[in-house]
Amino acid sequence: MAFMEVQDLSSGYGQVQILRRVSLQLERGKLTSLVGGNGVGKTTLLRSVMGGLRLWEGHIRLDGRDISTVAPYQKAGLGLVLVPEGRQLFPSMTVYENLEMGADNPRARPRFAENLERVYTLLPRLKERSRQRAGTLSGGEQQMLAVARGLMAQPEILMIDELSLGLAPVLVLGLFEMLLQLKAEGLTMLLVEQNVRLALAVSDYAYVLSEGHIAIEGPATVVAENEDVRRAYLGI
């Protein structure tokens, strides 16, 4: 049984339908990527899964439990954690205070010190900047902090929306190396990403979203060799 299953999910904004019966599965301890161009519904899918958007139809199951109508804060309490596009940090608060906010749920509070040490080991630059206001960090450091704040929530599943967006290539490579380390630790992740080449390189399984539906899916290495994917996204 899949750790998380999205089944026939449809949703949108107002009267505009964006997603059309999308289904995907996350296996425990695996890194799954959801890739595709701008405006195809990747962020809409994450918002629908987290509960920020109402489902028009379909179901979401976490470890066998139907969480389709569970409130976002309750989903976070169950270990479903989203690192949103655009980071959405608290810019006037320090790095440490942002990490404290990430741990503000009953499952994470008892392990605050342990998780803080973990993220500081994983991302030592944040320890160096712990008393610095988040709004004064570089773009790469802000993205590190956004991921670290998600890790402080003690996730069972970490969903990351556009990890590489707007960052220099050298910073992007460092962040993707971090994903590989988290995968090696057994964290279940869903990566939504425009950088298709890198996403497929680090993922176990991949879904290609096109015009609101899943067009292609399979092991990431197989998807990377798909001629349609190579032409449309890899420039080959």
1 has pLDDT over 90: no
Per-residue model confidence (pLDDT) at position 41 = 94
% of the chain exceeding 90 in pLDDT: 87
Per-residue model confidence (pLDDT) at position 232 = 85
Residue 110: burial class (beta carbons within 10 Å; 0-12, 13-18, 19+): exposed
pLDDT tens for residues 139-174? 999 999 999 999 999 999 999 999 998 898 988 999
- Tell me the two tokens of residue 129: 């900047």
Q: Where in the chain is the domain with CATH 3.40.50.300?
A: 12-79+156-236
Per-residue model confidence (pLDDT) at position 125 = 94
Buried b (16+ CB within 10 A) or exposed e, 114-135: ebbeebbebbebbeebeeebbe
- Are 163 and 171 a contacting pair, CB within 8 Å? no
235 has pLDDT over 80: no
DSSP state of 55: -
CATH match for 12-79+156-236 among 3.10.20.590, 3.30.1330.10, 3.90.1150.10, 3.40.50.300: 3.40.50.300
Q: Give me the residues paired with residue 206 across strands.
A: 33, 218
pLDDT tens for residues 102-132? 998 888 999 999 999 999 999 999 999 999 9
| Angle of helix 169-184 versus helix 112-122 axis, rounded to 10 | 130
Per-residue model confidence (pLDDT) at position 87 = 83
Per-residue model confidence (pLDDT) at position 206 = 98
Cα 13 to Cα 78: distance, rounded to the nearest angstrom: 26
Strands of 139-212 (E only): list them. 157-161, 188-193, 205-210
Q: Which amino acid, one-letter code, is at 161?
A: D
pLDDT tens for residues 53-97? 999 999 999 999 999 999 999 999 899 999 998 889 999 999 999
Q: Report the pLDDT averaged over residues 37-58.
A: 94
Cβ contacts of residue 72 below 8 Å, gap of 6+? 50, 51, 52
What is the pLDDT confidence band of residue 236, given thresholds at 50, 70 and 90? low
234 has pLDDT over 80: no
Per-residue model confidence (pLDDT) at position 173 = 92
